[in-house]
Structure 1
Amino acid sequence: MSLDGLFKRTLYWTNDLLHGGKIWNIRKDIASVLSDSESGKKKQDEKLKELLDWATKNSAFYSAYAGKSLHEFPVVNKLILVENHDANSVPKEKIPWQEGDIFIQKTSGSTGVPFAVPQDTRKRQRRIGALKYFNDTVGFKSHEKLGQCRIWTKWHTKSKKQIFWENIYPVQVGNLDDSKMAELVETIKSKKLFALRAYASWYDFLLDYLKRGKCTKDDLKSLKVCLSISEGLNPATKEGMMELAGIPIVETYADEEAGTLAHQRLNGTNFYLNHADYVFECLKMDSDEPAEYGELGRIVLTDLYNYSFPMIRYDTGDTAIFHEGTKESNGWPYIEKLFGRKMDMVFDSNDQPVHPMNFGRTLKNFDTIRQWQFVQNDQYKYTIKLEVTDESQLEKVVSELKGILGEKADIGVELVNEIPLLTSGKRKPVVCEWKH
């Protein structure tokens, strides 16, 4: 820990205390709920009852469900909430704790459905409190120096004043050539960054830079933890960073619509859910019935604290395998395996789910591939679309994919000039056309 971080952290918490200690008390509340499922479940049930009562009285969209239990409410998705945005929005005048205007949290719209979620003052405070709580669990205390690695735009940036007082240093990762990586390493060294937060795939670039001898373990010695966001992390990258640099990478699970949903612990692979702020359900892939523990299902959440735009039984679009509570999870259910968006997930020839990041981690090793897209057409039929500089490695590509999918996999190769873009400007690398 640094004196600079201690000084700014002390100022922050003192200021919070002078304003009622709201963030401090939220952090304490989250810790209390998650520390014991028996007492925590009672608190969660109370907050759920309050939310459902509020929503049915103040949201036109939910007014028909007065007196219903949670499981009698409809499962909704992003498109449904977008179509019913006005009916579900609650005016700020009705929210007693609201300070100023309602905050509008915008998502990227990477699925082709942009989403603007109103969030009231208390909800925003809960997001901050949860972030600080989960960071604490991996040894990253508030206001230690953080490198925030993301694509920074003119609509989302930080002023010099914010950088100084928050100790958050923006790192642009739109381009990741060696010159950019050199700038990052120099920032880590000169600013003595304590932590990094970055897209999971970005750590592949950092590890490669380290492996090629472009930087050393000593260059990164100030880093104590790396936080991975947005994508599934390659286990080999996690292992490589620990082996070569002694730096643990912790995966986080969050979305822009709600906030921090789950978090790994140091040197662990399970995701521990934020039951203090949400009620989580794992529903079957083909119905709204509960999935069994150990069965692949859809993650559906109810946000207990957004009173300006209730999100009840919201299908996140993510899939996971839940595990029943254990001593390590303080009795709360947790995520044993987290997968990406359900539309992006495929299954091998033994009908087992395959994380889409598998393909990127394999195909990046073929220097003739410029672009690729993997498609599951049917149960055993797959297509790999490739833009290549030459055809010398095609047989090896198919062989490697069979190693992922099994020998029964029928893999066709389609050579293309370009992989089409989504409306967001991104390329969708993994597509499942098979209705599992």
Structure 2
Amino acid sequence: MKGSPVRKQYNDIKYIDRHTKERCAPLIGQKLHKLLEYAQTHTDFYSRFDSFELRDYPVMNKLSLIQNMERIRVAPEKIPGQKGEVHIQRTSGSTGVPLAIPQDTAKRQRRIAELKYYGKAVGFTTHEKLVHLRSWNKWQNKTSRQIRLENIIPFDISKFGPEELENLCRLLVEEKVVCIRGYATTISNLAAYVRNSPEKWVFPHLKIVIAGGEALYDDVRQMVKEYLHCEIISQYADEECGILAQERVPTKENDNPMYFNHAGYVFEILKLESDEPAEWGEVGRIVITDLHNYACPIIRYDCGDTCVLMPPDKYSKGYPVMAKLYGRRFDLTYSTDGKAVSPLTYGRILKNYDIISQWQFVQLQEKKYELRLTLKSEPAGQMADLAAGLRNILGQDAELEIKEVRDIPVLSSGKRKPVMNEWKKN
């Protein structure tokens, strides 16, 4: 009755995702040209530009978007097809800079289409029962009507102790939940609880776990497959734009590449210290141009995350692939000779020590590091072996202290940072 606006967006995503870069380049080029022309015409900030080459536009970050928001956002009456007010999408501010992005009706439909398409790609069909694990507040929480219509059950993880975990397990069984979506550390807590629980939990309807917001460590993959008895995939998304990249299933044990959502965004991977393109295999900044937000054109947005780009593989249709997602730029850690270390590297060492319950690795200075652990039992001489393994990665001249702590703090967003850099904060 409404002309199937979400279906049209879905089909567009499907077409571009399933065809080659060469075949889809003209279509993506048209989208980019249209967006840049629109931004030049309808925004004060971009009115001074007359180029259709992205390299001629400034790279923006959260702070510069906030400072220029009134000059970038477009009045609702000037947005094509917009009826009523635009939606305001707010970020959690877990990086210290909360951001509110206006999104027009078509962009909201696009986000729904992305959820449908990328869920279907890993075996989850929209409106199958899904539990969404996150910190829900009064502005974000779903109404009873939304829960019924969408079949999405919000589960608050602001407090996530044994009682909440038991309630979650019971909910998964009683509601016949098919999919869980949440942060990787939250999924880790759930899998560890099931593993250690005296009650033998079985979730017969659970098909897939979609983990986002953080790096997905190998031990979490293994625990989910062993104790939740389903597949788990890593999805890269942000609240400002939408789903940016995702793994494919079935996954391997290690080093699963992520495939970009080229149907919705233009991606640039730029060097850490300049706006030049990063080389293959080099850690670079992820810079995004959103092709579909006409309420607030997002052009060359440095979202703060980093990754390693590699040449196309046999599944990527000619596009480069994200070999490794490193996460926040300011959480990158470095070896003593200045090379960036993948967060997953630490996890692959620490997963071999069963006495470790939780961990957090922190770089304090150029060659000074601290590993914070919560332990299930006495280490019995294992720490020397662990330190040797870490020094093989960091350098033999690394000043490494292993410290036992009672708990690893959780951010207000519900995320727990396994890797931090307190040396390079700026």
Q: Give runs of aligned pairs for residues 298-377 of structure 1, distance below 5 A.
A: 298-349=285-336, 351-356=338-343, 362=350, 374-377=362-365
- Asked whether the 8 Å contact 2:208–2:232 carries over to 1, the reply is yes
How far off is 1:403 after superposition?
A: 1.7
Indicate how the Cα distance of structure 1 residues 143 and 95 shifts in structure 2: closer, same or farther if over 3 A, else same: same
- List alignment gaps of at least 5 residues for structure 1: 1-17
* Matches of 1:123 and 1:366, distance apart in 2: 46
How far off is 1:370 after superposition?
A: 9.5
* Matches of 2:358 and 2:231, distance apart in 1: 31
Asked if 1:123 corresponds to 2:110, the answer is: no
SS in 2 for 1:128: helix
* Matches of 1:59 and 1:302, distance apart in 2: 16
Question: Given the alignment, which residue of 60, 77, 81 partners 2:44?
Answer: 60
How far off is 1:109 after superposition?
A: 1.3
Q: Which amino acid aligns with 2:128?
A: E
* Matches of 1:433 and 1:262, distance apart in 2: 30
Q: Which amino acid aligns with 1:49?
A: H
Indicate how the Cα distance of structure 1 residues 248 and 350 shifts in structure 2: closer, same or farther if over 3 A, else same: farther
Structure with a larger share of its residues in helix: 1
SS in 1 for 2:153: strand
Indicate how the Cα distance of structure 1 residues 351 and 237 shifts in structure 2: closer, same or farther if over 3 A, else same: same
Asked if 1:250 corresponds to 2:236, the answer is: no
Indicate how the Cα distance of structure 1 residues 363 and 343 shifts in structure 2: closer, same or farther if over 3 A, else same: farther
Indicate how the Cα distance of structure 1 residues 164 and 274 shifts in structure 2: closer, same or farther if over 3 A, else same: same
- Asked whether the 8 Å contact 1:349–1:405 carries over to 2, the reply is no
* Matches of 2:240 and 2:215, distance apart in 1: 19
Q: Give runs of aligned pairs for residues 22-41 of structure 1, distance below 5 A.
A: 22-36=5-19, 37-41=21-25
Indicate how the Cα distance of structure 1 residues 253 and 291 shifts in structure 2: closer, same or farther if over 3 A, else same: same
Tell me the residue number matched to 1:5: none
- Asked whether the 8 Å contact 2:219–2:351 carries over to 1, the reply is no
* Matches of 1:353 and 1:153, distance apart in 2: 36
Q: Which amino acid aligns with 1:99?
A: K
- Asked whether the 8 Å contact 1:348–1:409 carries over to 2, the reply is no
Indicate how the Cα distance of structure 1 residues 400 and 309 shifts in structure 2: closer, same or farther if over 3 A, else same: same
How far off is 1:421 after superposition?
A: 9.9
- Asked whether the 8 Å contact 2:135–2:413 carries over to 1, the reply is no
- Asked whether the 8 Å contact 1:112–1:422 carries over to 2, the reply is no
* Matches of 2:30 and 2:356, distance apart in 1: 58
How far off is 1:411 after superposition?
A: 1.9
- Asked whether the 8 Å contact 1:320–1:337 carries over to 2, the reply is yes
* Matches of 1:258 and 1:185, distance apart in 2: 31
Tell me the residue number matched to 1:19: 2
Tell me the residue number matched to 2:423: 433
Indicate how the Cα distance of structure 1 residues 201 and 370 shifts in structure 2: closer, same or farther if over 3 A, else same: closer
The CA RMSD measured in Å over matched residues stands at 3.2
SS in 1 for 2:25: helix
Tell me the residue number matched to 2:206: 223
* Matches of 2:397 and 2:354, distance apart in 1: 21
Tell me the residue number matched to 1:400: 386
Indicate how the Cα distance of structure 1 residues 252 and 78 shifts in structure 2: closer, same or farther if over 3 A, else same: same
- Asked whether the 8 Å contact 1:112–1:423 carries over to 2, the reply is no
Deviates more, 1:149-158 or 1:83-92: 149-158
* Matches of 2:422 and 2:313, distance apart in 1: 34
Tell me the residue number matched to 2:131: 147
Tell me the residue number matched to 2:73: 89
Q: Normalising to structure 1: TM-score of the pair?
A: 0.86
How far off is 1:189 after superposition?
A: 1.1
- List alignment gaps of at least 5 residues for structure 2: none
Indicate how the Cα distance of structure 1 residues 419 and 139 shifts in structure 2: closer, same or farther if over 3 A, else same: closer
Q: Give runs of aligned pairs for residues 126-275 of structure 1, distance below 5 A.
A: 126-216=110-200, 219-268=202-251, 269-275=256-262
SS in 1 for 2:313: coil
Indicate how the Cα distance of structure 1 residues 296 and 397 shifts in structure 2: closer, same or farther if over 3 A, else same: same
How far off is 1:325 after superposition?
A: 2.3
Tell me the residue number matched to 2:398: 410
- Asked whether the 8 Å contact 2:218–2:347 carries over to 1, the reply is no
* Matches of 1:342 and 1:115, distance apart in 2: 18
How far off is 1:216 after superposition?
A: 3.4
SS in 2 for 1:99: coil
* Matches of 2:352 and 2:138, distance apart in 1: 31
Q: Which amino acid aligns with 2:230?
A: I
Task: State the Cα deviation string for residues 152-203 of structure 1 (Å, max 9, x = none).
Answer: 2222212222212211112222233222222111111111101100110112
- Count residues with an aligned counterpart: 414
SS in 2 for 1:113: coil
* Matches of 2:380 and 2:38, distance apart in 1: 59
- Asked whether the 8 Å contact 2:246–2:260 carries over to 1, the reply is yes
* Matches of 1:400 and 1:135, distance apart in 2: 38
Q: Normalising to structure 2: TM-score of the pair?
A: 0.87
Q: Which amino acid aligns with 1:404?
A: L
Question: Given the alignment, which residue of 291, 294, 303 partners 2:281?
Answer: 294
* Matches of 1:422 and 1:136, distance apart in 2: 31
Indicate how the Cα distance of structure 1 residues 368 and 23 shifts in structure 2: closer, same or farther if over 3 A, else same: closer
- Asked whether the 8 Å contact 2:192–2:223 carries over to 1, the reply is no
Q: Which amino acid aligns with 1:400?
A: L
Tell me the residue number matched to 1:72: 56
Indicate how the Cα distance of structure 1 residues 421 and 190 shifts in structure 2: closer, same or farther if over 3 A, else same: closer
* Matches of 2:132 and 2:61, distance apart in 1: 29
How far off is 1:371 after superposition?
A: 8.9
